[in-house]
Protein backbone atom coordinates (compact mmCIF):
# COMPACT_ATOMS: atom_id res chain seq x y z
CA UNK A 1 0.00 0.00 0.00
CA UNK A 2 2.73 2.49 0.92
CA UNK A 3 4.83 1.88 -2.19
CA UNK A 4 1.81 2.18 -4.46
CA UNK A 5 1.02 5.54 -2.84
CA UNK A 6 4.58 6.79 -3.33
CA UNK A 7 5.34 6.79 0.39
CA UNK A 8 8.89 6.14 1.56
CA UNK A 9 8.99 4.25 4.87
CA UNK A 10 12.08 4.92 6.96
CA UNK A 11 13.01 2.93 10.05
CA UNK A 12 15.34 4.22 12.74
CA UNK A 13 14.96 1.55 15.38
CA UNK A 14 17.28 1.21 18.34
CA UNK A 15 18.36 -2.38 18.86
CA UNK A 16 18.65 -4.03 22.26
CA UNK A 17 16.10 -1.85 24.02
CA UNK A 18 15.15 -3.00 27.53
CA UNK A 19 11.96 -4.99 27.92
CA UNK A 20 8.63 -3.38 28.60
CA UNK A 21 5.29 -4.95 29.47
CA UNK A 22 3.04 -4.64 26.43
CA UNK A 23 0.65 -6.82 24.53
CA UNK A 24 2.47 -7.28 21.20
CA UNK A 25 -0.74 -7.58 19.15
CA UNK A 26 -2.24 -4.43 20.64
CA UNK A 27 1.02 -2.53 20.18
CA UNK A 28 1.16 -3.66 16.55
CA UNK A 29 -2.42 -2.45 16.11
CA UNK A 30 -1.42 0.99 17.40
CA UNK A 31 1.64 1.25 15.14
CA UNK A 32 -0.29 0.10 12.05
CA UNK A 33 -3.08 2.58 12.79
CA UNK A 34 -0.56 5.43 13.09
CA UNK A 35 1.17 4.40 9.84
CA UNK A 36 -2.14 4.09 7.98
CA UNK A 37 -3.26 7.50 9.28
CA UNK A 38 0.03 9.03 8.17
CA UNK A 39 -0.26 7.52 4.70
CA UNK A 40 -3.86 8.71 4.46
CA UNK A 41 -2.84 12.23 5.51
CA UNK A 42 -0.35 12.39 2.63
CA UNK A 43 -2.63 11.17 -0.18
CA UNK A 44 -3.10 14.60 -1.70
CA UNK A 45 0.31 16.23 -1.18
CA UNK A 46 2.65 16.81 -4.11
CA UNK A 47 5.96 16.83 -2.25
CA UNK A 48 7.96 13.85 -1.02
CA UNK A 49 5.91 11.49 1.14
CA UNK A 50 7.87 10.10 4.09
CA UNK A 51 6.88 8.10 7.15
CA UNK A 52 9.56 7.42 9.74
CA UNK A 53 9.17 4.93 12.57
CA UNK A 54 11.82 5.35 15.24
CA UNK A 55 12.51 4.00 18.69
CA UNK A 56 14.88 5.09 21.44
CA UNK A 57 15.41 4.76 25.17
CA UNK A 58 14.64 8.01 26.99
CA UNK A 59 15.34 7.85 30.72
CA UNK A 60 13.31 4.89 31.97
CA UNK A 61 10.90 4.85 29.01
CA UNK A 62 10.91 3.54 25.48
CA UNK A 63 9.79 6.14 22.97
CA UNK A 64 8.40 5.05 19.61
CA UNK A 65 7.66 7.81 17.13
CA UNK A 66 5.69 7.71 13.89
CA UNK A 67 6.44 10.87 11.91
CA UNK A 68 5.18 11.96 8.50
CA UNK A 69 5.73 14.68 5.94
CA UNK A 70 2.03 15.45 5.53
CA UNK A 71 0.27 18.73 6.21
CA UNK A 72 0.29 18.31 9.98
CA UNK A 73 -2.33 18.79 12.66
CA UNK A 74 -3.35 22.23 13.87
CA UNK A 75 -3.13 22.90 17.63
CA UNK A 76 -6.94 23.02 17.81
CA UNK A 77 -7.30 19.59 16.19
CA UNK A 78 -4.37 18.26 18.24
CA UNK A 79 -6.35 18.91 21.42
CA UNK A 80 -9.28 16.80 20.15
CA UNK A 81 -7.59 14.14 18.03
CA UNK A 82 -7.75 11.45 20.75
CA UNK A 83 -11.41 12.15 21.62
CA UNK A 84 -13.78 9.30 20.70
CA UNK A 85 -15.68 9.91 17.45
CA UNK A 86 -13.70 13.04 16.58
CA UNK A 87 -12.61 12.96 12.95
CA UNK A 88 -11.54 15.27 10.16
CA UNK A 89 -12.17 12.60 7.50
CA UNK A 90 -15.59 12.20 5.89
CA UNK A 91 -15.32 8.40 5.72
CA UNK A 92 -14.03 7.77 9.25
CA UNK A 93 -15.63 6.76 12.53
CA UNK A 94 -13.15 8.75 14.60
CA UNK A 95 -12.37 5.92 16.99
CA UNK A 96 -8.95 4.77 15.76
CA UNK A 97 -6.77 7.26 17.62
CA UNK A 98 -9.03 7.06 20.66
CA UNK A 99 -8.49 3.29 20.79
CA UNK A 100 -4.74 3.75 20.29
CA UNK A 101 -4.64 6.26 23.14
CA UNK A 102 -6.53 3.85 25.40
CA UNK A 103 -4.27 0.89 24.54
CA UNK A 104 -1.14 2.88 25.38
CA UNK A 105 -2.69 4.27 28.59
CA UNK A 106 -3.63 0.71 29.62
CA UNK A 107 0.09 -0.12 29.36
CA UNK A 108 1.03 2.76 31.72
CA UNK A 109 2.19 4.78 28.75
CA UNK A 110 1.37 8.00 26.95
CA UNK A 111 0.51 8.88 23.36
CA UNK A 112 1.03 12.48 22.23
CA UNK A 113 1.02 14.37 18.96
CA UNK A 114 3.26 17.19 17.81
CA UNK A 115 4.79 18.48 14.57
CA UNK A 116 7.36 16.44 12.71
CA UNK A 117 10.64 17.79 11.40
CA UNK A 118 9.00 18.00 7.94
CA UNK A 119 5.96 19.98 9.14
CA UNK A 120 3.69 16.94 9.25
CA UNK A 121 2.59 15.07 12.35
CA UNK A 122 4.59 13.08 14.86
CA UNK A 123 2.89 10.68 17.22
CA UNK A 124 5.05 9.67 20.17
CA UNK A 125 4.34 6.58 22.24
CA UNK A 126 6.13 6.46 25.58
CA UNK A 127 6.12 3.18 27.53
CA UNK A 128 7.94 2.55 30.82
CA UNK A 129 10.59 -0.15 30.79
CA UNK A 130 9.74 -3.28 32.77
CA UNK A 131 12.00 -2.40 35.73
CA UNK A 132 10.30 1.00 36.04
CA UNK A 133 6.78 -0.45 36.09
CA UNK A 134 5.32 -1.37 39.44
CA UNK A 135 3.16 -4.46 39.80
Query: Is pTM beyond 0.75 here?
Result: yes
Instruction: Calculate Rg over the CA atoms of the chain.
Output: 15
Domains and CATH numbers, the chain: 7-132 (3.30.565.10)
d(CA 85, CA 108): 23
* CA-based torsion, 27, 91, 11, 56: positive or negative: negative
Query: pLDDT per residue over 23-50, tens digit each?
Result: 999 999 999 999 999 999 898 888 999 9
Between 133 and 23, whose confidence is greater?
23
* 1 to 5, 43, 93, 118: CA distances (angstroms): 6, 11, 21, 22
At residue 133, the pLDDT reads 55
Query: pLDDT per residue over 3-27, tens digit each?
Result: 888 899 999 999 999 999 999 999 9
Amino acid sequence: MLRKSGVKLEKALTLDLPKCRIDPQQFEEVILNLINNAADAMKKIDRQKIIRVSSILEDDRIAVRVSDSGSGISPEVGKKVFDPFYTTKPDSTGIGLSICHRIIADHAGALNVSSSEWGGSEFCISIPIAEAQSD
